Every structure is written in C-alpha cells, then in structure tokens.
Amino acid sequence: MAILLAGLAALLYGTSDYVGGRASRRLSPLVLIAIADAIGLVVISLIVWRLGDPRPPTGSLLWGSAAGLCGLLGVLSLYRALSAGVMTVAAPITGVVGVSIPVVVGFALGDRPGVVAIFGIALAIAAVAFVSGAIGVPHQPTPRRVVAFAVLAGTGFGLLFVFYQRAGLSGGWWPLVAARSTTVPVIWTLLATMFITERRRAAAVAAPIGSSVDSRVEPAVDSMDGASSPPEPSAFEIGLGGESIQTAVRPAEPTPSILRLDRAGALSAVAIAFLAGGANAAYLASTRYGLLSIVAVVVTLFPAVTVTLAMVLDAERVRRPQSIGLVLAGLAVVLVTIGA
C-alpha cells in the first residue's frame, strides 16, 4: 500500500510540474500558484469538514505549515528553473537533491530497510542522475541560475517530504489544511506586492513629458541625423528573492504582466490545484504505511514522469543515458517494493 500511494504521488507530482513548467513559460508562476493554492485550500477544507476529522495536536499543524512553506519554495523555484531552462535537465536536478534529504533524515531517525530495498534506493539515486544528464550526456553547460533554482527546489521538496512525515498519524488530513492556510496568505501578499510594484513602474514609464518622474528620462539622439529615438524599454522584475528576469519589450513579444492570465493559464492553475493536492494527500497517506526513506525515494522519482511527458508531448530530445535512467527508475521501484 505504501509503495502504491507513493507511486501515485510521484505520478501526480510529475504531471503537475509538467503542467506548471509549460504554463510558467508565458505566465507568472506567482499567479499560477496563488490560484492553485487558493483552490486547494477550499477543496481540502471541505474534505476535512465533510470527514469530520477531530482537531489534531498543535505539533501536527506546525509540521504541516512548515511543509507548506517548503513546498511553496520548491514549486516556485522549480517553475523558475523550468521556465528558464530545459525540462529534461532542470526537473531531474531537483529530484537528485530532493531524494537525498529524506533518505538521510530517514536513516538518522532509525529507518532500517532491507538489503534489497537499500539497493533499490541506491539504484533510484543513480537513475535520477542518469535522467538528469549528470552521467553520460554531453551537452552545453546549464546556466548556473537554472541549476541554483533547481537545487533550491529540491531542498524545498526534500524538506516537505520530511515535515509531512513528522506530522504523524494523529494529524489526519489537517496537516494539508495547515499547509495551504500558511501558503495562501504568503503567496497572495507576495503577488499583491509585485502587482503594486509593476503598476508604479508602468505609471513611471507612461508619465507625461516634463513631469517629475519623466524628467529623468531623456530620449536618445541619433548621431547621424539628430532624430530622437525612444528610450530603452523598461524591465519588469518578476523574480523571487531578489532574482529578476530582465524582459525587454520587442515587437514580436508581448510585455510580461504579473496578472496576465488567459483561459489556458486558468485551466492550468485548476489542474495544478488538483494534481498537487492529490499528490500531497497520497504522499501523506504513504508515510503512515511505510518508512520515510522508502516512500520518499519512490515519490522523488517524479522527475521521470516530467521527463517522459516532455519527451512524448513536446518532442524534447532524450539521449540514451537518460533513457537508461528511466529504465533504472522502474527497476528501483520494483526493488524497493520487494524489499519494503
């Protein structure tokens, strides 16, 4: 049961990351996560209310809140990495880091899986390394910014797996409510701040000539004929934690907006809400049937799902070592299941 639930969580996580990564190439990850988290909070609250779960110990709620914050950090960082780099590189790097944390913590807390399961864990880590291109794939170096965000995402996901497990059996489904109740105010506050900042900068760009704002901007003069040319287009900082993407306005590309949301983006946010919510629920349930070091390894194979979807639906090129990694991932799940 534990492996089945963990596998379901991996499938849902990987699909959610694929949908979010694709959508974040044209929309702000902040908007996607804000909508998805709000929907997720409403849905899980209704479910808990309908089930009539008693209020859990405060410790379970605190662990759930911590898991939510780490998950938010992981998702936003991963979406940034996916939107700025190749899915078949960024997503698996996240998995390599994410699998290490719960395995180490699990062993530190006393997990002692069987020999076959331990071999499966090692094979899973190797599988993720192959899939990520860290082994045997010659390619151009991945930008450091993409690697940094992928590592940060892996850290967030790894801690999320640990904290949900620490919420304990007595928490019921309340840790999921605590997680969303914590992340929704944070993400909407961040979104409002970004919106206000963007509006102010847009107002500064559109200020009439001669005003106190525009007086600092002078048109460039062509040295050949003295004709004036418009100033360089401004950039919108849509980054997180000080990181920013400098997006110049070009005729062929629309100006990015923090609140730009089309129908496809709205549908993506709804899909993410149910996929991520289902993944969290499946993983939380799996920790109540199996060891952290076992179920977390299965869950952190979710990059294989993301890579497979990118390969099948987007025709992204997957080299032979990455294909080997996908096969190793399947073998790892079999070994972990046998040895669990």
* pLDDT at res. 216: 47
* pLDDT at res. 200: 83
* pLDDT at res. 239: 38
Residues 145-159: tens digit of each pLDDT: 888 888 898 899 889
Structure tokens, 191 = 């979104």
* pLDDT at res. 253: 41
Closest by Cα among 327, 326, 338 to 91: 326
* pLDDT at res. 85: 60
Cα 202 from Cα 207, distance rounded (Å):
9
* pLDDT at res. 27: 76
* pLDDT at res. 88: 62
Structural domain boundaries in the chain: 2-204+236-339
User: Within the chain, which residues score under 50 in pLDDT?
Assistant: 212-256
Residues 275-318: tens digit of each pLDDT: 999 998 999 888 888 888 888 888 877 777 887 888 788 776 76
Question: Quick one: three-class SS letters along the chain?
Answer: CHHHHHHHHHHHHHHHHHHHHHHCCCCCHHHHHHHHHHHHHHHHHHHHHHHCCCCCCHHHHHHHHHHHHHHHHHHHHHHHHHHHCCHHHHHHHHHHHHHHHHHHHHHHCCCCCCHHHHHHHHHHHHHHHHHHCCCCCCCCCCCHHHHHHHHHHHHHHHHHHHHHHHCCHHHCCHHHHHHHHHHHHHHHHHHHHHHHHHHHHHHHHCCCCCCCCHHHCCCEECCCCCCEECCCCCCCCCCCCCCCCCCCCECCECCCCCCCCCHHHHHHHHHHHHHHHHHHHHHHHHCCCCCHHHHHHHHCCHHHHHHHHHHHHCCCCCCHHHHHHHHHHHHHHHHHHHHC
Handedness of CA 151, 153, 154, 158 (dihedral sign): positive
